[in-house]
Amino acid sequence: MHNLTIAELIRGLQSKEFSSVELTQHFLTRIAELDPSYNAVITVTADQALKAAAAADQRLAAGNAPALCGIPILHKDIFCTNGVRTSCGSKMLDNFVPPYNATVVENFEQAGAVVLGKTNMDEFAMGSSNETSFYGPVKNPWATDCVPGGSSGGSAAAVAARLAPGATATDTGGSIRQPAALCGITGLKPTYGRVSRWGMIAFASSLDQGGPMARTAEDCAIMLNCMASFDDKDSTCIERDVPDYSATIGNSIKGLRIGVPSEYFSKGLNPGTEQAVRAALAELEVQGAELVDISLPNTGLSVPAYYVIAPAEASANLSRFDGVKYGYRCEDPTDLQDLYTRTRAEGFGEEVQRRILIGTYCLSAGYYDAYYGKAQQVRQLIQQDFAKAFEKVDVIMGPTCPSPAFKFGSKGDDPVAMYLEDIYTIATNLAGLPGMSLPCGMVDDKPVGLQIIGNYFDEARMLNVAHEYQQATDWHRAAPEGLL
């Protein structure tokens, strides 16, 4: 059952080939047996899952159940789950049990989906390798000496290892797309404002966006149908109808104009990765798409702009973790200052502290205009690049990241080496555009990701293109050795 896609599992449940309880038990057993090798799941909610599965079976028997009813999924441990510990990969929230559900969690619950547990992640979603998690790094199912990517590395590895058919994730600078690429699965970061951020622990509020991870574009469409909604509780959520993403997935892509930005194929790109991406573009050409050379001249500025804006917003967002209202508190504080400063020094890991300090620096008196103001102007330039490109093309494609999964510890002590991992993904967050990654080849026995960037609210078209590609190829069907 673990090799079936969500679409196939839905048909199996509805035709009573198996029950949700059987399905749920199957995945719980897989998690118990296999996850010790990957560390992808922080918390398993077996009892709740089996109860939810039994309830789903009743709904299915009664008929008219929503599509995802009875389908087991995992949530990234950044989404608040009522009564279930939500750690955000941090010691700071190791003991935090939220008294409410995030809107995304609520949407899946309403649909009758079964939550198997919560996935590992870089601490507060800050990282590209999952090495910053308080719970230890996640291992890439394709090569366990390599990183799964980050920050949604647990969700990506879990889907790749068939511990769940789908998982939720979040993306602030590439945290859905890069791990999806490194683990050989399909992941979509929707347009900023498409999916509610309510109850999703904030990192950089103007960039964060939740999205689905699954093995196919068709499954991502099914999940996005459930995740996307207008939510009054998120003031940046856009009030706009949610289309049926599954309805248009099989459309022809004849005449589709694909923009290929020269900046995404420059030095630093692994030759094998480039070859796989070019081959994917050629395949789409065969299907009737047209390749158009474009330029996104300010691409090089996206990483520097991001490392001002994201830490600045993080330093403000993470000020709430003060040892007073919830989460970790240091032992025996001598006074209030000591309580704050020691709680935060002991509760946050090194990378999180570094980003808070960088953000504090960029926002402090005398530096605000030179850093934050300037970065917000550069952000505008980056958005203008995309706007110009989308006058000529329907989607933009290139690699998701410069090379396949790298070994643990190989980015060394210099934080900047890790930051450059997101060079192709960050610009879409700065512009608020949707982006996705899907498997398109292998280099050194490790998966390569093809990135699709769409115009605002054009997720349906991106999913359509990805689905058509997956109809003609079978990279998305490949599985790490021993896991089929």
Partner 1 sequence: MSIERHEIEKLATLARIAIDDSTINEVSERLGSVLELVDQLQAADTSGVDPMSHPMQATQRLREDEVKELNQREALQATAPDTEDGLFLVPKVIE
CB of 408 to partner 1, least distance (A): 19
Cis before 151? omega within 30:
yes
First to last CA, the chain: 10
Q: Is 76 a catalytic residue?
A: yes
- Tally of CB atoms within 10 A around 200: 25
Residue with structure tokens 């396949």? 404
Residues 211-250 that bind partner 1 (CB under 8 A): 232, 235-236, 238-239
Residues 51-90 that bind partner 1 (CB under 8 A): none
Binding string, residues 92-111; x marks residues near partner 1 by CB under 8 A: ---xxxxxx-----------
If one asks whether residue 380 binds partner 1 (CB under 8 A), the answer comes out as yes
If one asks whether residue 267 binds partner 1 (CB under 8 A), the answer comes out as no
Binder to partner 1 among 300, 368, 472, 484 (CB under 8 A)? 300
Cα 263 from chain centroid (whole Å)? 23
CB of 370 to partner 1, least distance (A): 7
Q: Whole-angstrom Cα distance, residue 459 to residue 248?
A: 11
Nearer to partner 1, 32 or 357 (CB): 357
Binder to partner 1 among 166, 190, 212, 323 (CB under 8 A)? 323
CB neighbour list of residue 287: distance below 8 Å, 6 or more residues apart: 253, 254, 468, 469, 472
Binder to partner 1 among 247, 324, 472, 484 (CB under 8 A)? 324
CB of 158 to partner 1, least distance (A): 27
> Which residue in 289, 287, 235, 229 sits closest to 258, CA to CA?
289
Binder to partner 1 among 21, 301, 389, 452 (CB under 8 A)? 301
Nearer to partner 1, 82 or 144 (CB): 82
Binder to partner 1 among 143, 156, 167, 356 (CB under 8 A)? 356
Q: Is 87 a catalytic residue?
A: no
Q: Which two tokens stand for residue 280?
A: 């994917």
Q: Which of 175, 196, 246, 403 is flagged as catalytic?
A: 175
Residues 4-23 that bind partner 1 (CB under 8 A): none
CB neighbour list of residue 184: distance below 8 Å, 6 or more residues apart: 142, 160, 439, 446, 447, 449, 475, 476, 478, 480
- Name the one range near partner 1 by CB under 8 A: 91-99, 138-146, 168-176, 447-455: 91-99
Residues 438-457 that bind partner 1 (CB under 8 A): 456
Q: Whole-angstrom Cα distance, residue 140 to residue 354?
A: 26
Nearer to partner 1, 237 or 253 (CB): 237
Binding string, residues 406-445; x marks residues near partner 1 by CB under 8 A: -------xxxx--x-----------xxx------------
Q: Whole-angstrom Cα distance, residue 405 to residue 444?
A: 10
- Name the one range near partner 1 by CB under 8 A: 124-132, 141-149, 164-172, 371-379: 371-379
The residues pairing with 441 across neighbouring beta strands, listed in sequence order, are 448
| Cβ atoms of 136 and 164 closer than 8 Å | no
Q: Is 175 a catalytic residue?
A: yes
Q: Whole-angstrom Cα distance, residue 213 to residue 264?
A: 23
Element (DSSP H or E) covering residue 398: strand 395-399
If one asks whether residue 379 binds partner 1 (CB under 8 A), the answer comes out as yes
Binder to partner 1 among 15, 36, 64, 337 (CB under 8 A)? 337
If one asks whether residue 344 binds partner 1 (CB under 8 A), the answer comes out as yes
Binding string, residues 197-216; x marks residues near partner 1 by CB under 8 A: ---------x----------
Q: Provide DSSP, 322-377.
A: SSSSSS---SS-SSHHHHHHHHHHHHS-HHHHHHHHHHHHHHSTTTHIIIIIHHHH
Binder to partner 1 among 47, 335, 391, 481 (CB under 8 A)? 335
Binder to partner 1 among 18, 25, 322, 408 (CB under 8 A)? 322
Q: Could you give the 3-state DSSP secondary structure of residue 381?
A: helix
Nearer to partner 1, 15 or 337 (CB): 337
Q: Provide DSSP, 125-176.
A: G--SSSTT-TT-PPPBTTBTTB---SSTHHHHHHHHTTS-SEEEEEESSSTT
Q: Which of 19, 20, 76, 437 is flagged as catalytic?
A: 76
Rounded alpha-carbon distances, angstroms, from residue 6 to 3, 31, 166, 173, 369: 10, 18, 7, 27, 48
As annotated, the active-site residues are: 76, 151, 175
